[in-house]
Structure 1
């Protein structure tokens, strides 16, 4: 194969094989999608109990979403604008298991498919609990590239137990994590911008601690992408039935939320986006694809992740692989 034919062949090959991995061939972001189709199903949906009567639901940003609809079972319970990808579902019952899904709706009113179901159980109610948790102590943070920060803090204490932590940017709640978690990665920030974040603890009765000391950070003006890039990236090849395939392996970036989509670049051009239809790998991701029948052809490969906030992370270091080398 000569010229750009490996790329064209890659786009033609159906890459929707094993392990519940769906490959959206030739897709290089929203600009290449059919503007006449409804939004896709939101991915990376999570649900975490916030109190005995509320659950915090989050999801990844979806292209062309004007509104998100949040469902408890089959009942729509919330609508939020497309710029938002989290919500607190309230007025729930204590000690109850709930199932949530999310659907995106575009500006023309077209509804996309439901997300996968996620479950959360509210804790038991604590009668007469009026004592708030202690304030989170020793908060710290660092910029993770120009569009993300990593925060950490010492856990709060409570006479009945901490159920969740709320993260605020100024006066606005922007994130929530479970009570056993004392760190978070916040993405979707702007380069060269000063931010102030505070953390508050919440118990099952909804009692909210005082805010911990503010963590003030300024994101750098240039983004090298290293903090959000896949790591441990390697590319090798193998020969099967007279054809060569490139085998990829990488470690997903460490961010809050589930990374369900990756984009592979082959020889400097987008080749395909890989979308996980089930549970996405958290510790080790692999993929293999066809590149042709000719030995001695060198390809350059790199990969990047779609972050939970809908922005692309940094690229992995580029790897070169030559078909049939050493054989």
Structure 2
């Protein structure tokens, strides 16, 4: 099989020959990707990021507000609530990973969040979220949805709990989410609470009890959707053009793995803002026409695990995609 070097054109990508060894260095961890920040109330912001993969175990993450460290969470977490903030204020956050050797990686890109205005003498909590439902997504994820709460002012966010532990927050206009990083064949109970700008919290919505599928995860709902592959010719050479829809998960997918002809080829890592709708990428495939390739792609989920592969497409240089 002809080996093809895959490199990001518009992406900051990790490029290498198929089969090359990775992760065998002594460098500190990389910068967290997929960092987002969203106000949870007039005095709090929820910060979330993708789990960093490293040759050494990640021992923790440090969250910074400007240049000041405000949160320190264990390596198993990829989210934190920053509290004690001022209303109607813009805040800038970054996140750094720390490995088991104590080495601190570089800061992530900056993200901004604006806390809403405070509401004087607001003691009225939102109503409980209604009609909470859920379904398993393979063996390592669940999808939750609920009916919106009401408030005398406005619902600013929804907090998702796994048992008694808060595991995530979403904006007040969002009524569905995907929870990843679960264990196969395990039973979980999830509840949702609504929060307003004054930090009044609703009663729990109805508990949703779900059991993840046993064994290996086929993860079909974590696979990139509507995956397409074609070829084109430019300057006497052929290129394979890929496009797909990122899987719908909590957080931002910034890394994808490409498999070419049944072997891992490379990872694509977005250095800027990763697409949330259709994504695309092209790579060099040589100068000969009539060469057949099989290609598929998968996403690294925000919890650090790999999602399922897309459908496999077969392309021939000088030809178009075969369904």
Q: TM-score, normalised by structure 1?
A: 0.93
Q: Distance in 2 between matches of 1:325 and 1:287?
A: 18
Matched, 1:96 2:89: yes
Question: Which residue in the other structure is 2:297 paired with?
Answer: 303
Matched, 1:66 2:59: yes
Report 1:184-195 matches (<5 A).
Answer: 184-195=177-188
* Structure 1: runs of 5 or more not aligned: none
Aligned partner of residue 292 in structure 1, secondary structure? coil
Structure 1 residues 33 and 228, CA, compared in 2 at 3 Å: closer, same or farther?
A: same
* Structure 2: runs of 5 or more not aligned: none
Matched, 1:240 2:251: no
Question: Which residue in the other structure is 2:124 paired with?
Answer: 131
Q: CA deviation at 1:255?
A: 1.1
Q: TM-score, normalised by structure 2?
A: 0.94
Question: Which residue in the other structure is 1:32 paired with?
Answer: 22
The answer on whether the counterparts of 2:230 and 2:319 sit within 8 Å (CA) in structure 1 is no
Q: CA deviation at 1:34?
A: 3.6
Question: Which residue in the other structure is 1:10 paired with?
Answer: 5
Q: Distance in 2 between matches of 1:63 and 1:286?
A: 24
Question: Which residue in the other structure is 2:36 paired with?
Answer: 46
Indicate which of 54, 71, 75 corresponds to 1:78: 71
Indicate which of 278, 283, 303 corresponds to 2:277: 283
The answer on whether the counterparts of 1:27 and 1:33 sit within 8 Å (CA) in structure 2 is no
The answer on whether the counterparts of 1:28 and 1:273 sit within 8 Å (CA) in structure 2 is no
Question: Which residue in the other structure is 2:205 paired with?
Answer: 212
Alignment deviations for residues 169-192 of structure 1 (CA, whole Å, 9 cap, x no partner): 110001110111111111111121
Q: Distance in 2 between matches of 1:154 and 1:249?
A: 34
Question: Which residue in the other structure is 1:177 paired with?
Answer: 170
Q: Distance in 1 between matches of 2:8 and 2:68?
A: 32
Aligned partner of residue 39 in structure 2, secondary structure? strand
Alignment deviations for residues 132-162 of structure 1 (CA, whole Å, 9 cap, x no partner): 1111111001111211111111111111211
Mean Cα displacement is larger for which, 124-133 or 161-170? 124-133
Q: CA deviation at 1:324?
A: 2.2
Q: CA deviation at 1:97?
A: 0.5
| Number of residues of Structure 1 aligned to a counterpart in Structure 2 | 316
Question: Which residue in the other structure is 1:319 paired with?
Answer: 313
Q: Distance in 2 between matches of 1:235 and 1:204?
A: 46
Q: Distance in 1 between matches of 2:167 and 2:174?
A: 16
Aligned partner of residue 235 in structure 1, secondary structure? strand
Please tell me the root mean square deviation across aligned C-alpha atoms, in Å: 1.8
Q: Distance in 1 between matches of 2:244 and 2:319?
A: 22
Structure 1 residues 27 and 159, CA, compared in 2 at 3 Å: closer, same or farther?
A: farther
